[in-house]
Structure 1
């Protein structure tokens, strides 16, 4: 009976050691994911401001509705190109 208790205690000690290792790695992964989310939000904000800046710049040369159309057309073309590129990478 004592050997079974020893085996169970050793197993629990091993499990605790492995869990501590996993917990520290999980914490690092969560920090990395959090930083990636912040970076993604900043990148999207920068992209939106870039598009808005293009719109304002073209608004000086042409009517605002044409500037919005031109900027949207370029964004759609770039988005479609990225989708096609991703589709080729997946296939």
Structure 2
């Protein structure tokens, strides 16, 4: 069992610093204890799913100062809207 944080978003037209911040956030997340991986796609909406070993690991990532700053910039410049869902993954299948 592990957890998935599902982040869905719609973007504004602003690109200023977005790509660089996304790269930085990925590198920081990878360094967090309990981080297991990430998958992402974007068309009309963006969907990023990150995987974590525990709810504590998710909370620690949410409280990361650089992540908090990126969240604030997202609300003021990059996203029209977003939603975060946290789900427990009890099983997985792969082909």
TM-score if structure 2 supplies the norm length?
A: 0.23
Greater Rg, structure 1 or structure 2?
1
With structure 1 as the length reference, what TM-score do the two structures score?
0.23
Identify which of structures 1 and 2 has the higher relative contact order when contacts are C-alpha pairs closer than 8 Å and 6+ apart.
2
